[in-house]
Amino acid sequence: MSIDWAKHSLAVNQRYSDSLSATRHIRHVLLAAITAGDIMPGTRLKETELGKQLGFSRTPLREAIAALKAEGIIETGEGGSLQVRVLAYQDIHALYEMRATLEGMAARLAATGASPAEKLFINEIRTSETQLINNQASAAALAQINSKFHHGIYLASHNGFLTEALDRLSRTMVLLGPTAYSLPARIQEIALEHDSINEAIQAGHGDDAEAAAKRHLRNAAKARLQIIAGQQRGSLD
């Protein structure tokens, strides 16, 4: 596989300020390559080859792969080979349905139980998102602020088990490839959907916040399937 590992490594260093151990660095670099579509689901991973390309010894590489296996990102394929996990259509549907249910719950709890400071934080993230969109920021930058917005809601739910479950589901999203922000028409739709969630949270309307979050995730599922369908058509051209 021909991958610009230096680019992904630099991005990881910039995001985490060179503070990661070798194992965590490798994990994040592999996640970045999977998210970017440089390593596609079903791709076989060879430890020796990866070690040479990444410039790390076998021990931290194996530890990083073990962590990704535990998270359900990498799996053991036929003959014991390692590969990036492949999600079937029903898996994708189930993933979004679970996220819709849990994110709806998180939004409801945030609306009814978040502190003024937590609500302000969520609102500030939403304002930053608007600024990035107006400045025509990259899809990667928009995806990052999107993740921050959602995670802010998780934390404001004050439910550690719910936050842990949603964080795990969010990590699984890397298996779906490029962000929905790669669809230009979807950018403004996401902004409007975030507005609905944010406004309900700020107003303390739990029912409205839950409904808006569920609607947002179900629209996200439709957009994701549109991206996947486009990729499949492209592979047949």
pLDDT tens digit string along 118-127?
999 999 999 9
Q: Are residues 19 and 76 in the same domain?
A: yes
Q: Which two tokens stand for residue 30?
A: 């592999």
Residue stretches of the chain with pLDDT short of 50: 234-237
Q: How far apart (Å, rounded) are the C-alpha atoms in residues 232 and 226?
A: 10
pLDDT at 231: 60
What's the domain range around 134? Answer: 89-236
Q: Are residues 146 and 77 in the same domain?
A: no
pLDDT at 234: 47
Q: Are residues 14 and 67 in the same domain?
A: yes
Domain boundary, last residue among 84, 116, 136: 84
* Cβ neighbours, 10 Å, residue 53: 14
Q: Are residues 10 and 120 in the same domain?
A: no
User: What is the model's pTM?
Assistant: 0.82
Q: How far apart (Å, rounded) are the C-alpha atoms in residues 70 and 155?
A: 23
Domain tally, the chain = 2
Q: How far apart (Å, rounded) are the C-alpha atoms in residues 25 and 215?
A: 35
Contact 126, 194 (CB under 8 A): yes
Residue 96 φ/ψ, nearest 5 degrees: -70, -35
